[in-house]
Amino acid sequence: MSGSTILFIIGILAALAGIAIFIAAATTAQRARARADIEAQRITLEAQNREKELLLHAKDEALKARQAVETEHRERRRELSELERRLQKKEEAVDRRAEQLERREKATQAKEQQLDEARGSLEEIKAQQTEELQRVAGLNVQAAQELLLRRVEDETRDLASRRVREIEAEAREDGERRARNIIATAIQRYAADQVVETAISVVPIPSEDMKARIIGREGRNIRAFENATGIDLVIDETPDAVTLSGFDPVRREVARTSLTRLLQDGRIHPASIEQVVERARRDVEAYMRDEGEKAALEANVTGLHPDVIRTLGRLRFRYSYGQNMLHHSVEVAHVAAMMAAEIGADVNICRRGGLLHDIGKAIDHEVEGPHAEIGAELCRRLGVSPKVVHCIATHHTLEAMETVEAIIVQAADAASGARPGARGDVATSYIKRLEALEQIATSFDGVERAYAIQAGREIRIIVDPDQLDDLGAARLTRSIVKRIEDELEYPGQIKVMVVREMRVVEYAKR
């Protein structure tokens, strides 16, 4: 074959292949189009079904919403009907009340008219009675008003006095109860010794022969001793003892120490007496200084001037009603500090004021004036705090108290001196004090009887009710208290009770 033939055949084959490919592609496209038509029909059917479902669901929701709205509407209409019914009832009630008020107003107007008429009649009657009273009593209106005002004033004054007494009694009862609690707590927390010492200096001697040696030839030894010590040496018939007498407790202690050493040494003559007395004086001074420091340490008080310490130690030999003043001062310091802590006052001021409150008693035989004033001046001069000085100066009310600490120190001083066992008393002076109490009470007008009881801590006074009223009894109580404070010396406090009792007695007869 020739080349052209081959090319023709190849062309035919190619054409046939193209036709075959075209036919196959057309067939494939037709099949795809058929499948697409079927899928489109299926999707369209599903969409129609979904649309129908949504339409049905929307219709159901719309129906439910409509039913809910209709239900709510019916409920609103029912509530409105109920509210309308209530308003109608209230309107009816208001109408009825308005009618009642109108009737009451008319009745009130009628009564007011009647009252006006009655008031006019009363004014006429009052005027007639006033004229009649003025004619009968011989008083005009002004005089009657003054008489009435005087009566009202007297009654008001009496009522006010009674109320004042009631308030004072309540305040006193409450204050005493609180004070008793505070003082009892402070005293219970501080355990102090009872009085066991006395102010009498008695020196025992080994034998009666020693009395002659103490006197010496022509009394030269006893004269030398008295001149050196300033203390009287009493030698009497008391067996195996001699007595030292003197107002200065420090001198008496120097004399006691000196005599004891002379008796131990056995050499008693004027030269040795002077030497022994001088040594004893130095030893007693050192002892007092040590006692003052011990007392300050025991009371927890520091920073005191050495002269204050030395003067405080002199109280070791000072007694009041058998109570040692140094022990008393320490006790007052503790009690005052405890009381201050209980009520929130300055504990340090109370502690120092309690320790130093009686320091003036150590030198009151050397300086004129009350011991409170002497002690305050001494401490002021030695640089003690002004608040502490104020406590010292006012603990016997010689000056007005300006601080609560001063009141606490005074209360602690009274508690220390008045507690059981704190002080002793001689029977003679005790009886004299009771008699003086009763004499002061019976010296006032209107007093029938007076009895000192509670070991002189209380005096009970019976008054004549015809001579004294309640106000007079109160004034009498204050007057008696003032006289007792001014004229008597006593430890602690004394309760004054005035009893005014009215008794009415009648007899039934036939």
CATH number assigned to the domain comprising residue 437: 3.30.300.30
Of 174-178, 272-276, 478-482, 503-507, least confident by mean pLDDT is: 174-178
Q: What is the pLDDT of residues 149-161, one digit of tens each?
A: 777 777 777 777 7
Has residue 184 been placed in a domain? no
Residue 365's domain comprises: 201-418
Has residue 136 been placed in a domain? no
Listed residue (491, 489, 366, 363) closest to 422, CA to CA: 491
Are 372 and 262 members of one domain?
Answer: yes
SS3 236: coil
Higher pLDDT, 83 or 491: 83
Residue 10, pLDDT > 60, answer yes
Out of 124-128, 220-224, 428-432, give the one with best mean pLDDT: 220-224
What are the residue ranges of helices labelled H in 138-197?
141-189
Report the CATH number at residue 254: 1.10.3210
pLDDT of residue 191: 45
Domain count, the chain: 2
Percent of the chain with pLDDT over 90: 2
Are 407 and 437 members of one domain?
Answer: no
Residue 38, pLDDT > 50, answer yes
Are 470 and 367 members of one domain?
Answer: no
CA distance 26 to 20: 10
Q: Sheet of 447-453: strands edge to edge?
A: 447-453, 458-463, 495-500
Q: How confident is the model at residue 182 (pLDDT cuts 50, 70, 90)?
A: low
Domain boundary among 418, 446, 481: 418
pLDDT of residue 492: 63
What's the pTM value of the predicted model, to 2 decimals? 0.48
CA distance 29 to 13: 24
Listed residue (189, 465, 478, 186) closest to 345, CA to CA: 186
- Average pLDDT over the chain reads 80
Are 409 and 456 members of one domain?
Answer: no
Domain boundary among 383, 418, 453: 418
Residue 143, pLDDT > 60, answer yes
Has residue 376 been placed in a domain? yes
Higher pLDDT, 357 or 181: 357
Are 381 and 248 members of one domain?
Answer: yes
Mean pLDDT value across residues 473-493: 83
Q: At what angle do helices 386-394 and 404-418 cross, to 10 degrees?
A: 50
Has residue 409 been placed in a domain? yes
SS3 498: strand
Has residue 94 been placed in a domain? no
pLDDT of residue 195: 39
pLDDT of residue 428: 54
pLDDT of residue 422: 52
Q: At what angle do helices 270-298 and 220-229 cross, to 10 degrees?
A: 30
Has residue 507 been placed in a domain? no
Has residue 8 been placed in a domain? no
Q: How confident is the model at residue 98 (pLDDT cuts 50, 70, 90)?
A: confident
Has residue 510 been placed in a domain? no
User: Are the beta carbons of 479 and 444 closer than 8 angstroms?
Assistant: yes
User: Are the beta carbons of 452 and 437 closer than 8 angstroms?
Assistant: yes
Can you give the C-alpha Rg of the chain in angstroms? 58
